[in-house]
Structure 1
Amino acid sequence: MIQTLDLRGRVLSTAELLAVVPRSASDVGSSVDAVAALIADVRARGAAALLDQAERFDRVRPPHVRVPLDALREAEVALEPAVREALVEAIDRVRRGTAAQVPPTISTEIAPGARIVQRWQPVDRVGLYVPGGKAVYPSSVVMNVVAAQVAGVPSIALASPAQAEFGGSVHPTILGAAHLLGVDEVYAMGGAGAIGALAYGVAELGLEPVQVITGPGNLFVATAKRAVKGVVGIDSEAGPTEILVIADDSASPELIVADLVSQAEHDELAGAVLVTDSPELAAAVEAALPAAIAATRHRERIEVALAGPQSALVLVDNLADAARFSNAYAPEHLEVQVRDPHDLVPSLTSAGAIFVGDHTPVSLGDYIAGSNHVLPTGGQARFASGLGAYSFLRPQQIVEYDRAALREVADRVVVLSDAEQLPAHGEAVRARFRAADD
């Protein structure tokens, strides 16, 4: 069912840990050529290419690539009351959780008459991708849109795959969530083509190019985001979801099983990892998995995910080793179910988001914790962060010196410019002090 990695009694270097962490065999780079062709097709043929790609990959030809505003309004009205209420609560919590991510403008006096203002400027326009393959994700609408809105982005375009079940339009729950948030520019397009359309624009649709593209997706979406990076900014190349649970002998096997299964139901490539210093806990989790899988709706894909190379029960000597393993793995979602979690959390430096204690499952963060669920996968949490308001903000410095302040450092500028053999740099300063009264 699920493999066991026994690392007890071994002292592994960082490089050795990176080599043994369980990963899916899928590779973002493996579909580069196919993705490049799809993006090039959209750039060359615009809407016609998007329609052809929808027919090819989504098995439906949308009647409209851009979703009419009336359809958005109708979708919001048609939201089930309980779903609407949950979305409203999620929006409020994520908005409050995101507000802390916008730094204040700070003015620093470097010297009398010399100051630097540090500000955080939102981009003008963003493209938000919401997947629509094995599940429907109104929660991803919330996570993407709220982060952009809190950052102050004035123009938002949202893309999600066309759905055959709904006549080629975007899933109505996605549309309803978008309109609830005030987004009226939504496109029925998915995969690499959608990413290309957002990056380069499609004039006949009125789709202007964006500056930043965010949101999770499949392998083709992740590869496409890599392909357009540099033309636009991206959040990360979010691939298949993953969960890593650090647990000791105080943890509940039933809760761990529930959490591993909850993430494995996303996709056959989803990763589910338990790291523990308790062989008894690992054995109890392994024994409980079959019954838990059999009792859930998506048992087939869960079985594939848990049996894959990306999932494992990992045995270590102690919790310090568990933390080192976790930091090397850099999970998208990290749960800490140990006796003294707050003693361990400071040593956990690489994770998309950390969920502490028995009553903070990843599924809470997926929906309504107030945190963002668009997180780096595949080890990218070693150097990247999850989606937030900061994903749409550019730090800018505004520099202002008066005459006296410039005079004070003029000679030093000249000395340094001469040292770098760039004399015109110094001359640009001297030019300001050539008047007779100088």
Structure 2
Amino acid sequence: MPHPNDPKLRSFIPVDPASDFPIQNLPYGVFSTKDGLAPRVGVAIGDYVLDLWQLVQDCRIDVVEPAVFAAAMLNPFMALGPTVWSRTRARISELLRADHSELRDNPKLRQRALVPMADVKLHMPIAVAGYTDFYSSKEHATNVGVMFRGKDNALQPNWLHMPIGYNGRASTVVVSGTKVRRPRGQLKPPGAELPSFGPCKRLDFELEIGVVIGQPSAMGEMLPERQAEEMIFGFVILNDWSARDIQQWEYVPLGPFQAKAFATSISPWIVTREALEPFRRHGPEQDPPPLPYLRQAQPNNYDMKLDVGLRAAQMNEAQTICRTNFKYMYWSSVQQLVHHASSGCAMNVGDLLGSGTISGPEKHQRGSLLEISWNGTESVELPRGIKRTFLEDGDSLVMRGWCQGDGFRVGFGEVEGTIMPAE
């Protein structure tokens, strides 16, 4: 049987070459329908969602726990482990192949199992057990360091030795399309004698990739590179909304808190690690070499194109303000997970790790408005004479990501969020 990543594979379902969801992708999500179908697990293929519960009921997919696809989250399926993930993806690929008649020539099953994307509502794909955000782009960390500490002290002494991160709030991780309320907090602008409490005035986005953990690790256990890799179920696009002025006042000495706790948006489709396998790349050279527990024997970065569009309320469509690539990340997702567990920290099914802002070496590759506007000193020019240094009420952010194959692309769809006024 052909491997699901075979670039020659084609589905009997027509898929535009520009679609994020060819047969080589098959990302997982949770969907419901307008006619009252309860949330359940599906896979994206072209302009359709494949209802896995229908296939299980028709005995077309064999899993140890069939009810996992009737769940309103992917956690029960992820808990079954990498062998089941791979076998299930291969079987779904077989059913969707143009040269395989089982589903193609069964009109009644096709009608039940293939739901037009236009008719579904997409939900949070996982129950987030814990959320950790990292700070792993050297370009981003350098830009921020230059702004606030000067060129000679841009990176803190520990940055080149370990992935820096902090524990965020799982309770406010939301799916694409969820409106984001402008946060409130303590503000102390330069020159003010005392802080005040009120709406954030310097609201920002952060372009990130989220890593979805599909297998647990025991408390007290360290993870070797291979085991950490196998614990990763897949990836989402992630927007870690940031209140820069709240953060500036609160972050000393323990780091971000309320400035990051109000919202984190993720894409509804989880692209599996296996689907991204053909796009692996070595990351930047790490100098000095990491300590032995963080050293990598294989390429753990990905050649993944990313862009961000900003649409003000007065605009008809978003304008691209950032184009970058996940391959630039200094610390890989595997290294982040290895380091996370290195103290003996237990990892759980459904944990989410944010990569940290993804910036590249060029100005157009900066993954936050803090960098794009250089801390508010350079306006972003939008149509109709609109300018932005930070986000205003009514602004909408759209993030997209994909890996380009030969005649197809493996993508995530999008993660979108619109800013609502503070209460």
TM range (shorter): under 0.3
TM-score scaled by structure 2?
Answer: 0.24
Larger Rg computed on CA atoms: 1
TM-score scaled by structure 1?
Answer: 0.24
Structure with the bigger percentage of strand: 2
